[in-house]
Amino acid sequence: MKIELLKTFLEVGATLHFRIASENLFITQSAVSARIKLLEDELGVLLFDRSRKHLKLTPEGNRLIKHATEFLFMWQKIKQDVGIADSDAHQLVIGSMMSIWDIVLQDWLKKIHRNFEDITLLTNTYSPLELRKSLLSRVIDIAFFFEPPFVEDLITEKVAAVPLHLVTTEEQENDQPILLNDFILVDYGEAVNAQHLREFQDAPPPKHLMSQPRIALNFLLDAGGSAYLPRQMTFEYIKSNRLFVVEDAPIYSREIFAVYLAKSQKVGIIKEVIQLFPHVVVLGASSLEVTSHS
């Protein structure tokens, strides 16, 4: 079955090793090799460069990664949807940027699970461009953005405004210049990132770039440094003096938006689950902005 060929391809593409892929898939190494060869024959291209000591994806293999990932997600969506077709359950497909999952969506998914027994969840992570495309093509039901698209057929609702504070592992004096030691730039969207670079234009470039606040937090606690992180995520570490808020630094407010199709067949259930956020506001384009204050 071609589904298994694509799964095997993605595993080999992730590990770049036939033996490790076979162990992860619980099949023999020869079976992995045979599946990759079968897929290459089917597509008429080489997916891996085997001429060197270390396995490497070919340009064709790199292009297949995205298509294979999307195909398998759609297959999972189809299987789940067909499986609940004879019941009263509803499938809800949710897509988001990576960093938004950590900030507000984990707790929200738990609330859906506790309050709606008839909803089955299917989640995935996308870039902003892929989110917009998947939403408009009805691959996903709800998309979460920092900067939502301006499309007439979409309904946009603000579900959260998250304060972002500069924290550091070394306490700084209030009357001293702000030092961005080993600074980690977390991806909160272009608006916040650009504003930070303007306000700290004389600072050295970021030491690291990370897409997830949770990864940045764990890295800080282990290796030291500084980063802008959601206050609710750092509260316990500030209380125990493992992290310190830089009081004189600007505070950013990163708004998060839920977006869905106005003519979706699931509008009713979508509105119900969005109401599980503490504060929900339906917004026009003029309200979609980032604010900061010192």
Domains and CATH numbers, the chain: 2-78 (1.10.10.10), 81-160+256-289 (3.40.190.10), 161-254 (3.40.190.10)
Q: Which residues contact 264 (CB under 8 A, 6 or more apart)?
A: 138, 141, 270
CA dihedral of residues 12, 13, 15, 19 (deg, nearest 10): 20
For the segment 155-194, what is each residue's pLDDT rounded down to a tens digit? Answer: 999 998 888 999 999 887 766 666 777 899 998 888 888 8
Q: Would you state the pLDDT for residue 158?
A: 92
- Which residue bears the tokens 């891996």? 48
Q: Would you state the pLDDT for residue 78?
A: 72
Start-to-end Cα distance in the chain: 58
Three-class SS state of 264 = coil
Extract the residue ranges of the chain whose pLDDT is less than 70.
1, 77, 79-89, 174-178, 280-294
Closest of 111, 103, 150, 160 to residue 279, by C-alpha = 160
**Token pair for 159:** 């579900």
